[in-house]
């Protein structure tokens, strides 16, 4: 805790955060459930001696991981911004890690200054199960998946679209418009990866989207039918969401990113199996 006789210096501190979502009820603080936001706020409060609100770039659902979530808080005291990462890691549980911290302009905002968020969904397609990948991928081996079909289905999504078909209920968002900036599907055997980048995401969007894309990739649904489904906003036909543990918030982009690229750009490792 800072001593009262120290001069009070106000600064805005940005954090790059990794967490394993398995035992969290999502990012956002909520009563009676463990959340990433609350755990970090408690750690900050132990250092400063009073409650501080942590503002995240986006909300991840229960069970979803993050390789480079970004958040900020305002601190009063003499602790240099770049020291906060190491300090907080000494207080945080083992399933949260602050990769770096930096001082930012008081007008900079983790959520509102961001120009994109990018998610990666990973599927493990080998029939033989593997304990070391089950926490980070959807074990989908029931049918073979054609990544070229999934890639073709993703292509029309790029641009500004009304994606109410992939918008779960109970969201506070008043509209379903999303600017999809990039979308790709690729394979690193035996894993299939789907990455989506957009200015923002609807509640449950990526998991609902992946749930439908596997039907395309397994030849259960034609690409044309998939495209018509979301263009015509036929939400009632979207019945299955992919499980949360295969999803990871890969990174958040800013026009004035306060961190070097190696801290935040592509920090979710990909499993590589030798044959």
Q: What are phi and psi of 204, to 5 degrees?
A: 80, 10
Cα distances (Å, whole numbers) of residue 260 to 16, 102, 182, 245? 11, 10, 22, 28
Q: Tell me, what DSSP letter sits at residue 40?
A: H
Provide Rg for the chain, Cα atoms: 20
Segment holding 13, helix H or strand E: strand 10-19
User: Catalytic: which of 61, 105, 228, 266?
Assistant: 61
Q: Is the peptide bond before 155 cis (omega within 30 degrees of 0)?
A: no
- What is the rounded (10 degree) CA torsion for 192, 193, 194, 200? 150
Q: Is 61 a catalytic residue?
A: yes
Residue 224: how many CB atoms within 10 A of its CB?
9
Alpha helix (H) ranges present in the chain?
36-48, 84-89, 147-154, 205-217, 223-231, 261-264
Which residues are the active-site residues? 61
């Amino acid at each position: 805790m800072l001593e009262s006789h120290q001069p009070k210096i106000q600064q805005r501190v940005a954090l790059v955060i990794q967490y394993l979502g398995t035992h969290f009820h999502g990012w956002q603080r909520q009563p009676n459930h463990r959340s990433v936001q609350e755990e970090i706020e408690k750690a900050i409060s132990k250092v400063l001696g009073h409650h501080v609100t942590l503002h995240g770039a986006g909300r991840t659902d229960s069970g979803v991981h993050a390789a480079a979530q970004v958040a900020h808080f305002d601190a009063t005291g003499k602790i240099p911004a770049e020291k906060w990462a190491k300090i907080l890691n000494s207080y945080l549980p083992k399933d949260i890690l602050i990769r770096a911290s930096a001082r930012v302009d008081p007008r900079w905002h983790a959520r509102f200054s961001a120009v994109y968020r990018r998610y990666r969904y990973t599927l493990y397609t080998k029939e033989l199960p593997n304990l070391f990948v089950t926490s980070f991928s959807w074990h989908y081996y029931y049918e073979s998946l054609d990544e070229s079909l999934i890639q073709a289905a993703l292509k029309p999504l790029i641009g500004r679209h009304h994606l109410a078909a992939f918008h779960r209920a109970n969201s506070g968002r008043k509209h379903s418009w999303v600017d999809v900036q990039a979308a790709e599907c690729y394979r690193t055997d035996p894993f299939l990866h789907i990455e989506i980048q957009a200015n923002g995401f609807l509640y449950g969007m990526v998991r609902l989207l992946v749930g439908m894309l596997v039907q395309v990739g397994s030849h259960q649904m034609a690409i044309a039918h998939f495209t018509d489904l979301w263009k015509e906003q036929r939400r009632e036909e979207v019945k299955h969401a992919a499980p949360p543990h295969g999803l990871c918030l890969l990174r958040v982009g800013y026009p004035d990113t306060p961190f070097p690229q190696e801290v935040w750009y592509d920090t979710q490792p990909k499993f590589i199996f030798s044959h």
